[in-house]
Amino acid sequence: MGGADKGLQPFRGVPLALHALQRLAPQVGGCMLNANRNLAQYAAFGVSVWPDSLVEYPGPLAGFLCGLEHCGTPWLLTVPCDTPLFPHNLAERLARAAAAEAAEIVFAAGAETDARGEVRWRDQPVFCLLQAALAPSLQRYLAEGGRKIDHWARMHRCISVAFDRPADDTRAFANANTLQELHALEHAR
């Protein structure tokens, strides 16, 4: 987004990160944010804000580790702020699948429409429910230079949940990496 702090960009009149918190809060017991700049602005949203504990900000797994380091429950659910239309039943469906399959990590899988208009399914690994007990494994993986979510996750009992029922929105996992994409999502119904 041209160097702008993505989480502070407005979406339907609310900063993206606050929008994500408001959408997620009814689904979980408590929320926190992972941010590496503008910490005071994020703290104004009323939740704990934690920066990455690793130097050089090595990607989404650093955020996962930060969450695990501060997680006070047996499970951590991660969502990115740049995908504002994620399902209202995300936590419930991922948790149900984790229990049914004795999984340690559960990804959401969302529909995407390709250039030909065909729908295909793809894991959305930043929408992740993971056991807090995996923190030491993730610390080791990152210390060894690992950076890929799916590679680390597949070292554990990992499954995906397809959000594929007719009531599911194929835009549920559409993310905004540019202001133009964000404005397009803002006007989606």
The span from the CA of 19 to the CA of 79, in Å, is 11
In the chain, where does DSSP find H-type helix?
A: 16-24, 39-43, 60-70, 90-101, 135-143, 149-153, 179-186
Percentage of the chain beyond pLDDT 70 is 94
Tell me the per-residue pLDDT of 9-40, one tens digit each, with 9 for 90 and over. Answer: 999 999 999 999 999 999 999 999 999 999 99
Task: Report the predicted TM-score, pTM, of the whole model to 2 decimal places.
Answer: 0.90
The structural domains of the chain, with segments of one domain joined by +, span 6-186
pLDDT of residue 165: 55
3-state SS, residue 120: strand
Q: How confident is the model at residue 164 (pLDDT cuts 50, 70, 90)?
A: low
- Give the residue from 176, 161, 149 showing the smallest Cα distance to 111: 161
Q: Determine if residue 12 is left, alpha or beta; phi over 0 gives left, psi from -120 to 50 gives alpha, anything else beta.
A: left
Mean pLDDT of 53-68: 89
pLDDT band at 166 (very low <50, low <70, confident <90, very high): very low
CATH architecture of 6-186: Alpha-Beta Complex (3.90)
Q: Which residue has the tokens 């006070």?
A: 72
- Using alpha carbons, select from 69, 89, 90 the residue that is nearest to residue 79: 90
